[in-house]
Amino acid sequence: MIRIERAAPFLDDKVVAVQEGADAWCEEPGVSGRVWCNLSIRYADAIAPDGWFFLYEGIGNRKTNLDLMKHGLMEVQQSRFTLSDGNSAALARLI
């Protein structure tokens, strides 16, 4: 599994955005390795395509997601993935 790390000091000092397969998060590396926020969400009945993750679009992530896109660290597909229950999810990846 490939691990992608991108420095994101515009979020906070020393924060990095990380993607490992279908999981993504922001963390403060070092001894604590504290997860700053989760970028991805998993669905029981869906698997994200290789290299992508389902973007967690909760209210607490909206600004973080926008900042990552604005600074060119994250790409979000324009078309949405349709889930089995009829809802949709955004696909994203770190670049």
pTM > 0.85: yes or no: yes
Tell me: pLDDT of 13 over 70.
yes
pLDDT at 12 over 70: yes
pLDDT in tens, 82-93: 998 889 999 999
Reference 56, options 10, 19, 30; nearest CA is: 19
Output the pLDDT for position 90.
96
> pLDDT exceeding 70 applies to what percent of the chain?
98
Whether 91 and 48 have beta carbons less than 8 Å apart is answered as yes
The pLDDT value recorded for residue 33 is 73
pLDDT band at 1 (very low <50, low <70, confident <90, very high): confident
DSSP strand E in 1-95: where? 3-7, 16-20, 23-28, 34-38, 53-54, 74-76, 81-82, 88-89, 91-94
Domain parsing of the chain, residue ranges: 3-94
